[in-house]
Structure 1
């Protein structure tokens, strides 16, 4: 998978916890990382500032054009660089984004 797919999965997630599963670089198993949505939201501005990122979800869809914010139809919550109102659909508390 690529970064655009990961950004789409995270942006469309509506749970209180992000849970990611990654293959270890050495190929000897998997690692899981769980992140609290509230902690991520609280840290977002500082992380973006430290990495000089203008908008939270900026991806190159074809790997060639200029980075653009993730559109709403792909789960993005930003329009013209501003956060739009979130939707809580009452889904499960944990969703899994698996990376190969």
Structure 2
């Protein structure tokens, strides 16, 4: 959150005549200009893109190479914690072992 004030002030021009200017009109003057909205949109879209790329890399690349397909991971924790299931298999058919349940 430290970036938001710095980004919103990045496009603001310097005001050397602050004491000579009239007060702002609350009905006409905008608190946030179009550049602020643009920066906010870019910030959140970059954050979403980074999270989505992390998810794809971690679960689709690394997990798929090791037998954990994304559709298999959604229900895995419930089966992993179950005391009744001792022969849990991954997507390739290899056995997964939970030492705590044995």
The TM-score bracket by the shorter chain reads: under 0.3
Question: Quick check: which one's strand share is greater?
Answer: 1
Which structure has the higher relative contact order (CA within 8 Å, separation 6+)? 1
Question: Quick check: which one's helix share is greater?
Answer: 2
Compare CA radii of gyration and give the structure with the larger one.
2
The TM-score, its normalising length taken from structure 2, stands at 0.23
